[in-house]
Structure 1
Amino acid sequence: MIARQAGVRSTWLACGLLAGVMLGMAAQAAQPLAPSGDVQAFLQQVQKAARSLDYAGVYVYQQGHTLQSSRLVHLVDGTGERERLEILDGMPRECLRQNSVEQCLLPERKLVVIQPARSDHFPGLLLGNAQAITAHYDWRTSSHTYRVAGRECSVSELKARDRLRYSYRICTDVETHLLLKSQTLDPAGHLVDQVAFSSIRVGADVQPAALTTHWDTRNWQLVTESSAPTDLQAQGWRFTLPPGFQPVAELSRQIGPAHAVDQLVVSDGLAAISIFIETFDPKRDQNIRQGDLRQGAANIHRMRLASYWLTAVGEAPAQTIRDLARAVQYVPQAAR
């Protein structure tokens, strides 16, 4: 869920860390596996809650020793989905979404970036077809309930059946099915990262005025990042995908006046991996390091292939990202 990055996640201190331990203890009391049809309906219910409910609150993303808090407001009205996401730590950043388009405000640069909206951030959960999930994850439910941000939630675990992907431990609101907390676990069962609401309001208490930014952007620079569907195979690119991962999108993205990037997005329904392809520029790219990088649950592998830069990034184990990138082939037009 990079993405869920997004991409692209407050202060827990003693109480927050204890909360993580308690959620882990609750998951250890998991019941036998639930029927596969039930998990599909359950995940779709959780996804529907994230997209159709009105809610506002602060959530905290914890990655190692790093904590980042964000304020999220989500409303659904006659115009569709509207959302405001404000990063509360570090440099001020804010994104305002209207359905599939968002404006991201960067106050320190007095810059507004208009771009296609991402749908993979918390509390969203699904990234593709839920039917494929049952082939690669076991769903374990717990008879225990737990409290997150003052609300009762049910604990369950989506445990990966192989080492190609992470497992997820989640807590969903008993009343509304909204995802309140999610933990990412590596193949050894160790906590990679976690995100949870520290406060939340649901329903009529959420007012449209909460969607309004306090920044005056009238004299700020405006940059539009556009994207269009593309056919990477027709361009000569060949990909070998990990089992369970299917293409979700093939896009050509225009980032700035003279910088185009092609992107392949693949997903197994819960995890997403992107491969970015861009022409190698010796002046711009000569100091970029090849190899592996890691940021929380997201692993990155960069490499040169012919006259291109390949960057594979996603919330999956490093070996999965590395193998996917190294299996990419490029067959130039002339050779074909």
Structure 2
Amino acid sequence: MGTRMRLFEQQTLKRLGVLLTVSVCAWAQVAQAQSGADVLRQIQEAARQLNYVGVYAYQQGDHIESSRITHQFDGKHEKERIEVLDGAPREYLRTDDEVQCLLPEQKTVLRERQRGDRFPGLLRIDPKSIENNYSVSVGAVALRVAGRHCRPIEVVPRDSHRYGYRLCADTESSLLLKAQMIDERGTVIEQIAFTQVTIGAEISDAMLVPAWPTKDWLTVRTQHQKIDLAALGWRVNAPPGYVSTSEVTREFADRKRVHQLVLSDGLATISIFIEPYLPERSEYVPQGAAQSGSVNIYGVRVANYWLTVLGEVPASTLEQLAQSIQYMSVASPR
């Protein structure tokens, strides 16, 4: 009987193996039929339109930080709660693109608008544009992340002005489970991944309530207004494939006003901060290049302004951009 049982097990495993092979092949054929833009769009839609709750870990260099995310979609609106589990306690509450950052030690709520590329979101612009700057390919063999099968996706830059990415999206739902940023040497310089996740479960409103009562806390709204930097005299030659996604002036508590220009190719982002140059200040980034984890930084003085250019892009891209920025004084209207 034992022999017959082993034979039955072998036949069953063989049959399951055939079924698994057919399933993987079919999935690979479907993936190959999709364009890179389709695959990335599915990931973005899954991040917005699914209910999910889980814990993810973010690693940059030696720094690792874990957070718990609870995301709800009711068919029209998104609601989300992110609890940072390491370091100083803080939470992020989001409704669509409005975000509240809760700082219990200061009893303060910071209100701002949310970017769409926060994990497990990915994109800032139309994914069709991304294919001009990256080649996107889907692997034929499923991997596993957080106990779930996911399809590996290679996003390879077409030039030296951006890093590459390795993604893994859930095979059932397309939710992004893992993302790695890869430099020109093939080294992972930043990664974020779920360590545990439940997709499609019911998310009650009680799960989105903050851990602290905030009724009497100070509320601070980030002040900014849209501007036209070109009209103000600035000439910025964006690296190939990057476009302006935001031009604003931000006002801080000490009434200091800083212009900010955000450039993006859909995945990578560069920020340029422009402020009046004050010789007595010591907190400027040193002239030239610096690095903090995966973020490269370049400081440069242009006319009577100090520019801080930073982004998760190659240092050479930032240097070329920073050195090419020009300022032409605009005459005041009489």
Give the TM-score taking structure 1 as reference length. 0.85
Alpha-carbon deviation of 1:276? 1.3
**Bigger relative contact order, structure 1 or 2, given CA contacts below 8 A and separation 6+?**
1
Equivalent residues, number: 304
Q: What are the superposed Cα offsets for residues 68-89 of structure 1, whole Å, 9 maximum, x if unpaired?
A: 1011111112661111122111
Deviates more, 1:308-317 or 1:174-183: 308-317
Once the two structures are superposed, the pairs formed by residues 79-118 of structure 1 within 5 Å of their partners are 80-118=77-115
Task: Give the Cα separation in 2 of the matches to 1:153 and 1:319.
Answer: 34
Separation in 2, partners of 1:211, 1:315? 31
Rounded to whole Å, the distance in 1 between the matches of 2:89 and 2:318 is 31
Contact kept, 8 Å, 1:300 with 1:313, in 2: the verdict is yes
Q: SS at the partner of 1:144?
A: coil
Query: Given residue 168 of structure 1, which amino acid in structure 2 is its aligned partner?
Result: Y
Distance 2:98 2:224 in 1: 11
Give the partner amino acid of 1:253.
Answer: R
2:155 aligned counterpart, secondary structure? strand
1:157 equivalent among 154, 159, 175: 154
CA shift in 2, pair 1:289/1:136, >3 Å: closer
> 1:193-216 CA distances to partner (integer Å, 9 max, x unpaired)?
110000111113433211111112
Instruction: Give unmatched runs, 5+ long, in structure 1.
Output: 1-29
Could you tell me how far apart the structure 2 residues matched to 1:186 and 1:110 are? 40
Partner residue of 1:289 out of 285, 295, 310: 285
Report the Cα distance in structure 1 between the residues aligned to 2:278 and 2:91, rounded to whole angstroms: 31
Give the match for residue 242 of structure 2: 245
Structure 2: give runs of 5+ residues left out of the alignment: 1-27
Matched, 1:222 2:215: no
1:62 match: secondary structure: strand
Larger Rg over CA atoms: 2
CA positional deviation for 1:281? 4.0
The alpha-carbon distance between structure 1 residues 34 and 188, as it changes in their structure 2 partners (threshold 3 A), is farther
SS at match of 2:139: strand
Contact residue 34 and residue 139 of structure 1 kept, 8 A: no
Asked whether the equivalents of residues 50 and 179 of structure 1 are also in contact (C-alpha less than 8 Å), the reply is: yes
Counterpart mapping for 1:1-336 below 5 A: 38-77=35-74, 80-256=77-253, 258-282=255-279, 285-290=281-286, 291-334=288-331
CA contact (8 A) 1:223 1:256 kept: no
Cα distance in 2, alignment partners of residues 44 and 237 from structure 1: 34
> For residues 311 and 211 of structure 2, what CA distance do their matches in structure 1 show?
33
CA gap 1:77/1:126 in 2 versus in 1, 3 angstroms: same
Which range moved further: 296-305 or 121-130?
Answer: 296-305
**2:61/2:294 contact within 8 Å kept:** no
Name the CA distance, whole Å, in 1 between partners of 2:279 and 2:52.
47
Post-superposition shift, 1:240?
0.8
Against the structure 1 CA distance between its residues 38 and 148, is the aligned structure 2 distance closer, same or farther, given a 3 Å change threshold?
same
**Mapped partners of 1:34, 1:132: distance in 2:** 19
Report the CA distance shift for 1:282/1:80 in structure 2 as closer, same or farther (over 3 A): farther
Q: In the alignment, is the contact (CA less than 8 A) between 1:116 and 1:227 conserved in 2?
A: no
CA RMSD of aligned residues (A): 2.2
